[in-house]
Amino acid sequence: MVEWGAFGFGVVLGWFMYFTNRYRKGDVQFSDLTTLVGVIGGGAITALFGEAKTALFGAYGAGLAVGFFAYFIVLLVMVNRSNGVFTVTWFLDGRRKRLADDEEIPGETRPTVAPMAVQLGGPQQTTGAPAVPARSPLAAAVEERDRAITATVDALRELMREIGDTTDDARRSRLREAHGQLTQKLDELVALRLKDVLDSERVRSALAKLSVITADLVAGAQEMKTAADTLATAAKMIDRATKAIGFLGTIFA
């Protein structure tokens, strides 16, 4: 009976392990390790049961394997019964059929990670093609701007070289004009990049946090000063008390 309990416990953890792997968000993350910790923890628990620990660990391990592969077998059965919508190729590279006109995948459906570790694009992917992680328009614009800065600097260097090489005054004048215009363009692009950084929410939030920390440190510094001042005051008071006692001693002597 006890072995069956350990076996059942292993089955549940094995099932959950596969489930977590299937729905993890792309690359393995630190949080995924919690499953592993759970699995190891399960094995460790069986060690607490004295003489029976070897048998319990065996049952637990068998249960773990059964649970893990049972999940996969259930997936295989479901793919087999999907009337051709999914085939075993889904297990290889996530390939699937397009959605029919009257079908949809709700936006809140969790994206899965295929057993062969190809990352699928999630519910919005209806073409069946493996997804390439989408770049946000903002990130694309930022990259474009940074490329433009590099290209402008390169063009300016080329212009300087040309200005230095040409002996034709008219051409030199045109090149110098272009130099002025490109310098202005570089100024605009760099200013744009700086604006993005300085106006960001992250910088604002960091400024606010640092102000609070600074205020705490200032209070701490004051605390240090107060401690020294308090001792100085105490010393003065004892000094005065000593003088008063000496004075009174002289009077009553």
Partner 1 sequence: MRPASVAITLLLVTGCSPYIYKTEINEFSNGVNELSSAYNAGLKSSGSERQERQRRQWTKKRARIALTEGCVLQASGGPDNVSACALREVGKAPPAPSRIETQAIPAAPIIKALRDYADALAAVTNAEDQQTLEAAQAQFKNSIQDLAKQRDPALPASLGPVADVFSATMTAALNARRYEILRDGVTAANAPVAELGGALGEALDAIRTARANELRLLADDLSAELGPAFGSTDYLSQLNLIEGKVNSLEALRHSEPGQAARDMVKAHEELALALKDDRRQVQAVIASVRAFVDKAKAVREAFAG
Question: Count residues contacting partner 1 (CB under 8 A)?
Answer: 52
DSSP state letters, 110-154: PP-B-TT-PBP--TT--S-SPPPPPPPHHHHHHHHHHHHHHHHHH
Q: Count other C-beta atoms under 10 Å from residue 155's C-beta.
A: 15
Q: Which two tokens stand for residue 114?
A: 């295929």
Options 132, 213, 251, 253; binder of partner 1; rule CB under 8 A: 213
Beta bridge partners of 113: 119
Identified binder of partner 1 from the candidate list 101, 137, 223, 253, rule CB under 8 A: 223
What residues does 119 pair with on adjacent strands?
Answer: 113
Nearer to partner 1, 74 or 215 (CB): 215
Nearer to partner 1, 44 or 245 (CB): 245
Binds partner 1 (CB under 8 A): choice among 31, 124, 127, 214: 214
Residues 138, 196: Cα–Cα separation, whole Å:
11
Among 176, 178, 181, 252, which residue interacts with partner 1 (rule: CB under 8 A)?
Answer: 176
Decide if residue 170 touches partner 1 (CB under 8 A).
no
Q: Which stretch binds partner 1 (CB under 8 A): 64-72, 88-96, 115-123, 210-218?
A: 210-218
Of the candidates 33, 88, 140, 232, which one interacts with partner 1 according to CB under 8 A?
Answer: 232
| Partners of residue 216 on adjacent β-strands | none
**Interface with partner 1, residue 155, by CB under 8 A:** no
188 lies in the site for partner 1, by CB under 8 A: yes
Which tokens belong to 35? 């499953």
